[in-house]
Amino acid sequence: MLTPKQKNVLEFLQRFIQENGYSPSYQEIANAFGLSSRSTAQKYVERLREAGYLDMDAHSKRGVSIKQSGIHLPLLGRVAAGQPIEYHLHQEFVEVPSSFLRVDAEHFCLQVHGDSMIEEGILNGDYAVIRKQDQADNGSVVVASVDGRATLKKIFRKRSRIELHAANPKYSPLVITPPMQIRIEGVLTGVLRNLNFSH
């Protein structure tokens, strides 16, 4: 288990590398966290490497990278990118790059079924990586359970209702009105292409 400070350092590294395309120096890490020295930052990085979250190139000043070998997430079934379908627990796992994941959250995968999210680059057969949470910002791509059936859509809250929008013009929004029940299961954090799947 990582300490809260170690998690914060790992999240900082993930954000920095995503935004800049290269890793921060030890001095930049120290500055970001108000650490007393570069060697203190180096100890945090070394601990994260030992825990399996980072790769390091000893010959490079900016040689830290987020380990891409992957973390195995449970595949909980299929989710409709079209009409809602049920999803259920499978005893399968999908290897996901650690850069898709937040260290302080629980994640799972669902295999996409349907074509309603193609304009978001989410195709039939892809694996959706989902961060488990019950809240989401307007416009986020979420897995929502509608009357007990799961669907992958963009969520929009209007004054008196919730709408789930496809990313394909041939599908109309799914409007949630009483007595329909909706529960957000999680938010999309990444998509893995299944190269063995025939689209």
What DSSP character marks residue 85?
B
The string of pLDDT tens digits covering residues 146-189 is 998 999 999 999 888 999 999 999 999 999 988 999 999 999 99
What 3 state SS string does 103-160 have?
A: CCCCEEEEEEECCCCHHHCCCCCCEEEEEECCCCCCCCEEEEEECCEEEEEEEEECCC
| Domains of the chain, CATH where assigned | 4-66 (1.10.10.10), 71-192 (2.10.109.10)
Which of these ranges, 14-28, 91-105, 177-191, has the smallest mean pLDDT? 91-105
Percent of the chain predicted with pLDDT > 70: 91
pLDDT at 18 over 90: no
CA atoms within 13 A on the CB side of 44: 25
Is 116 annotated as catalytic?
yes
Tell me which of 153, 158, 160, 170 is the catalytic residue.
153
Tell me which of 39, 43, 67, 116 is the catalytic residue.
116
Which of these ranges, 8-12, 107-111, 129-133, 181-185, has the smallest mean pLDDT? 8-12
Q: How much is the pTM?
A: 0.65
Helix segments in the chain, DSSP class H: 4-20, 26-33, 38-50
pLDDT band for 51, please (50, 70, 90 cuts). Answer: confident
